Amino acid sequence: MSPPRPLLPLLAAVACLAVLPACQLRPVYSASTGAAATGLLGGVEVSPIPERTGFLVRDQLVSRLAPQGAGAAPRYRLDVTLDDRIEGFGVRGDNTIVRERRTLRARYALVETETGRKVFESVAGADAGIDVVASEYAVVAAEVTASERLAEAIAEQIVGRLAIFARRGS
């Protein structure tokens, strides 16, 4: 005989709770392991990144990295190189573009400031779709908005990966 229907969600929750202690997932910023991530992220200086999108990415990175304190020399430097592209696709019968895809890729490296040695490098990326409408102003505004969203997504990826790197024992 099976348990009554209202008890099924409760039984499922109890079963999940029983399995959780065996799980190896831990929060990056937990009290026991968060010190490594916070320490590393607080000691990172972000190098200037050229172009408008570079400014946006750098601004997002700086706002997410906790400052180590006034006057403290940064232990690491974050060098970021961007590849920002807009491609048209979805062509109408009169050869006009219906949609664009804005792609932002970032190659980044965490460098020790004292030695100049790369301690971590990776790639982050994000895409956004843009509708091409009759108003050129609206298309440009959509491209700018997509650029802002992509800069935020790239910064989130970079900071998240740096926090995981720090937690693993930089």
Q: Can you give the CATH number for the domain in which 154 is found?
A: 3.30.160.150
Is 15 inside any structural domain? no
**Predicted local confidence at residue 25, as pLDDT:** 47
Q: What is the pLDDT of residues 67-109, one digit of tens each?
A: 655 556 888 999 999 999 999 887 888 888 899 999 999 999 9
Q: Which two tokens stand for residue 149?
A: 């969203």
**Predicted local confidence at residue 123, as pLDDT:** 97
- CB atoms near residue 89 (< 10 Å): 11
Query: Predicted confidence band at 40 (pLDDT cuts at 50, 70, 90)?
Result: low
- In the chain, the number of structural domains is 1
Is 1 inside any structural domain? no
Q: Which domain holds residue 56?
A: 27-167
Is 14 inside any structural domain? no
Is 43 inside any structural domain? yes
- Closest listed residue to residue 126, CA positions, set 106, 150, 152: 150
Is 19 inside any structural domain? no
For 21-55, give one letter per residue: b (16+ CB within 10 A) or e. eeeeeeeeeeeebbebbbebbbbbbbeebeeebbe
**Predicted local confidence at residue 127, as pLDDT:** 96
Is 85 inside any structural domain? yes
Q: What is the pLDDT of residues 114-166, one digit of tens each?
A: 999 999 999 999 999 999 998 999 999 999 999 999 999 999 999 999 988 88
For 125-141, give one letter per residue: b (16+ CB within 10 A) or e. ebebebebeeeeeebee
Query: Does residue 31 register a pLDDT over 90?
Result: no
Tokens 């843009």, residue located: 130
Q: Which two tokens stand for residue 123?
A: 């790639």
Is 45 inside any structural domain? yes
Q: What percent of the chain has pLDDT over 70?
A: 71
In contact, 40 and 70? CB cutoff 8 Å? no
